[in-house]
Chains A and B, each alone.
Chain A
Amino acid sequence: MALIWILLLPLLGTLVPLLAANLGRSVIAFLTAIAPFIALVLLLLAAPTVFDGQILSASLSWIPSAGLNLALRLDGLAFLFALLILGIGLLIILYARYYLSSKDNMGLFYAYLILFMTAMLGIVLSGNILQLWFFWELTSISSFLLISFWSHKSEARKGARMALTITGAGGLALLAGLLLIGRIVGSYDLGEVLASGDLLREHAAYPAALILVLLGAFSKSAQFPFHFWLPHAMAAPTPVSAYLHSATMVKAGIFLMARFYPVLAGTELWFLIVSMTGLMTLLLGAYVALFKHDLKGLLAYSTISHLGLITLLLGMNTQLSTVAAVFHIINHATFKASLFMAAGIIDHESGTRDMRQLNGLWKYMPYTATLAMVAAASMAGVPLLNGFLSKEMFFAETLDQVTLGSLSWMVPVLATIGAVFSVAYSARFIHDVFFNGEPIDLPKTPHEPPRYMRVPVEILVALCLLLGVFPAYLVGPLLSQASSSVIGGQLPEYSLSIWHGFNLPLLMSLLAMLGGLAIYRNRRHLFRFQALFPEPDAKLVFEGIIQRLTGICTLVVNKLENHSLQRYIFLMLLAALVLMAGPMIDLNATKGHYSELPIDPITLVGALLLTVSALATVLLNRKRLISLIMLSVVGLLVSLAFARFSAPDLALTQLSVEVVTMILLLLALFFLPQSTPKESNPRRLVRDLSIAGLIGGVIGTINYAMITRPLDSISSFFLENSYSGGGGTNVVNVILVDFRGMDTLGEITVLGIAALGIYKLIVRMRLYMPSTNSQGLPWSPDKHPMMLGIVSQSLLPLALLVSVYIFLRGHNLPGGGFIAGLVTSVAIIQQYIAQGVDFVKERMRMDYQWVVGSGLFIALLTGLGSWIFGRPFLTSWFDYFKPPFIDKFELASAMLFDLGVYLTVVGATLMILANLGKLTTSHSPAIKEKG
Chain B
Amino acid sequence: MEALYAFCVGLLTACGVFLTLRGRSFPVVVGITLLSYAVNLFLFSSGRLKMDGAAVLGASESYADPLPQALVLTAIVIGFAMTAFVLILAMRSRADLGNDHVDGRLPPSPKDQK
Query: Which of chain A's residues has its CB closest to B39's CB?
Result: A699
Give the nearest-CB partner of B105 in chain A: A564
- The reply to whether A569 and B21 contact each other, CB–CB distance below 8 Å, is yes
Instruction: List, in ascending order, chain B residues with CB within 8 A of A567's CB.
Output: 104
A-facing mask of B1-18, CB < 8 A → 1, else 0? 111111111111111011
A63 contacts the other chain (CB 8 A): no
Contact pick for B70, options A703, A708, A736, A762, CB 8 Å? A736
Per a CB cutoff under 8 Å, which of B18, B72, B92, B95 touches A692? B18
* Given contacts A597-B2, A646-B50, A650-B72, A621 and B9 within 8 Å (CB-CB): no
Q: Tell me the minimal C-beta distance from B103 to chain A in angstroms.
A: 5
Query: Across the interface, do B66 and A569 meet the contact criterion of CB distance under 8 Å?
Result: no
16 chain-A/chain-B pairs, Cβ below 8 angstroms: A566-B23, A573-B17, A621-B19, A621-B30, A645-B44, A645-B45, A654-B40, A668-B88, A669-B26, A692-B17, A698-B10, A699-B10, A703-B6, A713-B47, A719-B66, A732-B69
A598 interface residue per 8 A CB criterion: yes
**A198 interfacial by beta-carbon distance below 8 Å:** no
* Partner of A661 from B1, B5, B14, B33 at Cβ < 8 Å: B33
Q: Taking the complex as formed, is A657 at the interface, i.e. its CB lies under 8 A from any CB of chain B?
A: yes
A704 interface contact, C-beta 8 A: yes
A754–B81 touching, CB < 8 Å: yes
* Contact between B92 and A761, CB atoms less than 8 A apart: yes
Contact B88 A758 (CB under 8 A): yes
* A646 cross-chain contacts in B, Cβ below 8 A: 50-55, 63-64
Known interface pairs A569-B20, A757-B85; A634-B91 also in contact (CB < 8 Å): no
In the complex, what distance in Å separates the CA atom of A77 from the CA atom of B92?
64
Nearest-CB distance from B108 to chain A (Å)? 11
Q: A661-B83, A671-B91 are in contact. List 18 more A-B contacts (CB 8 A).
A: A567-B104, A603-B1, A621-B19, A621-B22, A638-B41, A653-B73, A654-B40, A668-B26, A668-B29, A692-B18, A696-B14, A699-B42, A715-B47, A731-B66, A747-B74, A755-B84, A765-B95, A909-B80
Residues of A within 8 A of B73 (CB): 649-650, 653, 732, 736, 818
Do residues A761 and B67 form an inter-chain contact, with CB atoms below 8 A? Answer: no
Q: Which residues of B contact A650 (CB under 8 A)?
A: 44, 69, 72-73, 76
Contact call B30/A664, Cβ cutoff below 8 A = no
Nearest chain B CB to A780 CB, angstrom units: 23
A596 nearest CB neighbor, chain B only: B2
Contact B4 A603 (CB under 8 A): yes
Q: How far is the CA of A654 from the CA of B41 in the complex (A)?
A: 11
Q: Is there contact, CB below 8 Å, between B2 and A594?
A: yes
Contact of A732 among B6, B12, B70, B82 (CB under 8 A): B70
Q: With A692-B14, A731-B57 known to touch, is A703 a contact of B67 (CB < 8 Å)?
A: no
Q: Is the CB of B80 within 8 A of A740?
A: no
Q: Counting CB contacts under 8 A, is A345 at the interface?
A: no
Chain A residue nearest to B21 in the complex (CB): A688
Say whether A704 contacts B77, CB under 8 Å.
no
Residues on A with C-beta less than 8 A from B79 are 657
| Given A598-B1, A645-B51, A767-B91, CB of A696 within 8 Å of CB of B46 | no
Contact of A765 with B91 in the complex, beta carbons under 8 Å: yes
> Assuming the A-B contacts A707-B6, A818-B73, are A668 and B90 also in contact, with contact meaning beta carbons closer than 8 angstroms in the complex?
yes
Partner of B58, one of A661, A691, A718, A729: A729
Minimal Cβ-Cβ distance residue in B for A641 = B41
Q: Are A695 and B13 touching (Cβ within 8 A)?
A: yes
Q: How far is the CB of A685 from chain B (nearest CB, A)?
A: 9
Interface residues of A (CB under 8 A from B): 562-567, 569-570, 573, 594, 596-600, 603-604, 607, 610-611, 614-615, 617-618, 621, 624, 627-628, 631, 634-635, 638, 641-642, 644-650, 653-654, 657, 660-661, 664-665, 668-669, 671-673, 676-677, 679-680, 688-689, 691-693, 695-701, 703-704, 706-708, 711, 713-715, 718-719, 722-723, 729-732, 735-736, 740, 743-744, 747, 750-751, 754-755, 757-758, 761-762, 764-768, 812-814, 818, 822, 905, 908-909, 912, 916
Distance of A708 Cα from B70 Cα, bound (Å): 22
A657 touches B77 (CB 8 A): yes
Q: Are A672 and B56 in contact (CB under 8 A)?
A: no
Tell me whether A758 and B37 are in contact (CB under 8 A): no
Provide the bound-state CA to CA distance between A715 and B67, in Å: 6
CA distance A735 to B30 in the complex (A): 31
Contact across chains for A664 and B92 when beta carbons are under 8 A apart = no
> Which B residues lie within 8 Å of A618 (CB)?
15, 18-19
Q: Chain B nearest CB: distance from A897 CB in Å? A: 14
Contact call B12/A654, Cβ cutoff below 8 A: no
A671/B94 in contact, CB under 8 A: yes
- Chain B contacts for A740, CB-based, 8 A: 70
| Docked-complex contact B91 and A672, CB < 8 angstroms | yes
Residue of B nearest to A644 (CB): B51
In the assembled complex, the Cα of A650 lies from the Cα of B53 at a distance in Å of 14
Residue in B17, B29, B44, B47 whose CB lies within 8 Å of A711: B47
Bound together, the chains give a CA A825 to CA B19 distance in angstroms of: 29
The answer to whether A707 and B49 have CB atoms under 8 Å apart is yes
B7 contacts across to A, CB distance below 8 A: 607, 700
- Residues of A with C-beta under 8 A to B88: 668, 758, 761-762, 912, 916
Say yes or no: B45 contacts A696, CB within 8 Å.
no
Roughly how many angstroms separate A653 CA and B88 CA in the complex, as a whole number?
22
- Nearest Cβ in chain B — how far from A584, in angstroms? 13
Tell me if A614 and B15 are in contact (CB < 8 A). Answer: yes
Smallest Cβ-Cβ distance to A643: which chain B residue: B54
**Contact between B104 and A563, CB atoms less than 8 A apart:** yes
Chain A residue contacts of B94, Cβ below 8 A: 671-672, 767
- Distance, CA A750 to CA B41, complexed state (A): 22
Contact indicator B49/A597 (Cβ below 8 Å): yes
A713 touches B67 (CB 8 A): yes
Which of A649, A679, A761 is close to B23, meaning CB atoms less than 8 Å apart? A679
A697→B6 CA distance, assembly (Å): 9
- Distance between Cα atoms of A659 and B4 in the complex (Å): 26
A705 nearest in chain B by CB position: B6
| Distance of A730 Cα from B60 Cα, bound (Å) | 12
**Which of chain A's residues have a CB closer than 8 A to the CB of B50?**
645-646
Q: A610 to B8, Cβ gap below 8 A?
A: yes
Question: Which of B37, B65, B74 meets A713, CB within 8 Å?
Answer: B65
Q: Top 5 closest A-B pairs, CB basis?
A: A700-B10, A696-B14, A564-B104, A704-B6, A563-B104
Whole-angstrom CA separation of A371 from B78 in the bound complex: 75
Chain A residues whose CB sits within 8 angstroms of the CB of B27 once the complex forms: 621, 624, 627, 676
Q: Which residues of B contact A680 (CB under 8 A)?
A: 22-23
Q: Is the CB of A696 within 8 A of B51?
A: no
Judge whether B24 and A676 touch: CB under 8 Å: yes
In the complex, chain A residues whose CB is within 8 Å of the CB of B51: 597, 644-646
Q: Shortest distance in angstroms between B69's beta carbon and chain A's nearest beta carbon? A: 5
* Bound: A647/B56 CA distance, A: 10
Residues of B within 8 A of A564 (CB): 102-105
CA distance A905 to B80 in the complex (A): 11
Q: Is there contact, CB below 8 Å, between A696 and B69?
A: no
B76 and A657 form a contact (CB under 8 A) = yes
